[in-house]
Amino acid sequence: MNTAATGFVYHEDYLKHDTGYHPESAERLVSIMRKLEEVGITEKMKRILPVKASNEQIQYVHVDGYIKKVEAMCKGGGGMLDPDTPLCHDTYEIALLSAGGVTKAVDEVMLKADNGVRNAFALVRPPGHHATSNKGMGFCIFNNIAIAAEHLKRKYDVKRILIVDWDVHHGNGTQEVFFDDPSVLYFSTHQYPHYPGTGWIDEVGKGEGEGFTVNVPLPAGTDDAGYLYALWNILVPIAMDFSPEFVLVSAGFDAHVDDPLASMNVTSPGFGLFTDVIKEIAEENSKGRIVIALEGGYNLNALAESTLSVFDSLLSNGEGREKRKEKISENERVRKRVEEVKEVQRSYWTNLL
Ligand SMILES: [Zn+2]
């Protein structure tokens, strides 16, 4: 019997996606698991074993020609999918297991029986949020979080899904997939200007999806307080209005102050504070249902500590949250950017003050 409220997805096969000398390495997951086991937190959670996503599930998001291209390249021994994205012989199968890890986490949270969990964190690789419908890029092969959102729509008939993407890079792939879809609200904070170049405030969705994409491009140097200011002043009011039935998070840890690929100043405990905000939204709207998927994060130590902070938040009962809120302060450049975003988004979300 397992009555844990929080689950985690992990499989040693995730280490088989061999990228060579590359920041998105198998060592990332080794470092995370070592830390989680060192502090004994895995014993308090339900371990969820992933299964490979089916071809049909991958096709929810990706065109068949692209899927076949990845499969063929891997069968031929691998190669470079784009200048940043290496494939090895096993990558195709492991990318299916990565997407399948996030959908399995969704299934566990949606379980009605007592053995389900309220929330789960899928510790998967390769990451996914840069992968578009017809193109892998930026270390990403298949868009794990987008596939999970489509799985929620199709298997469980979920009508409103919130995706929060706090990876330091803009999730161009996820944005593209849901740009005209009002059932998925895509919210992203990211360093701007920075890779991949998208994610300005005027990218708000199109057609029926107009207003359901919210981009918060932040200046280099934004710290915990700046992020929390953006989350409380933009994400929370919009999310409370949207009232998601399920919350998904693209959790990259490359906004960490020690990360080698970006220039933000978030601390390891900061990611736990972001998770507290997500929990408040989920408790209010989605019966606490949250699935978090690992995206980036390239300083091995910072990645492990930040992941632990997220788990600490998921496992906590919310005590001390009020005190943490008081710590929110403002950085002038962040405050100005938040005002600019609100100005654009007020056309769609009337409760934005
Ligand atoms: Zn990233």
Give CA–CA dist 175/39, Å, rounded: 36
Distance 24 CA to ligand 1 centre (A): 10
Provide the annotated active-site residues: 130
Pairing of strands 6-9, 119-122: parallel
Distance 111 CA to ligand 1 centre (A): 31
Distance 156 CA to ligand 1 centre (A): 29
Q: Could you give the angle at the alpha carbon of 148 between the alpha carbons of 155 and 218, nearest 5°?
A: 145
- Which pLDDT tens digit goes with each residue over 224-257? 999 999 999 999 999 999 999 999 999 999 999 9
pLDDT band, residue 1 (cuts 50/70/90)? very low
Distance 46 CA to ligand 1 centre (A): 27
**Confidence at residue 330, expressed as pLDDT on a 0 to 100 scale:** 72
Average pLDDT over residues 122-145: 98
The total of other beta-carbon atoms located within 10 Å of residue 110's CB is 16
Q: Which residue has the higher pLDDT, 76 or 111?
A: 76
pLDDT band, residue 199 (cuts 50/70/90)? very high
- Token digits of residue 1: 């019997």
Instruction: Give the DSSP letter string of 268-289.
Output: HHHHHHHHHHHHHHHHHHSTT-
Starting at the edge strand found earlier in the chain, the sheet holding 246-251 runs: 46-48, 6-9, 119-122, 290-294, 246-251, 161-165, 184-191, 213-218
Structural domains in the chain?
Answer: 6-345 (3.40.800.20)
Distance 170 CA to ligand 1 centre (A): 7
Q: Which residue has the higher pLDDT, 322 or 333?
A: 333
Mean pLDDT over each residue of the chain, to the nearest integer = 95
Distance 3 CA to ligand 1 centre (A): 33
Q: Report the percent of the chain where pLDDT is more than 90.
A: 92
Distance 128 CA to ligand 1 centre (A): 10
Residue 319 pLDDT greater than 90, yes or no? no
- Token digits of residue 139: 């270390």
217, 199 Cβ separation under 8 angstroms: yes
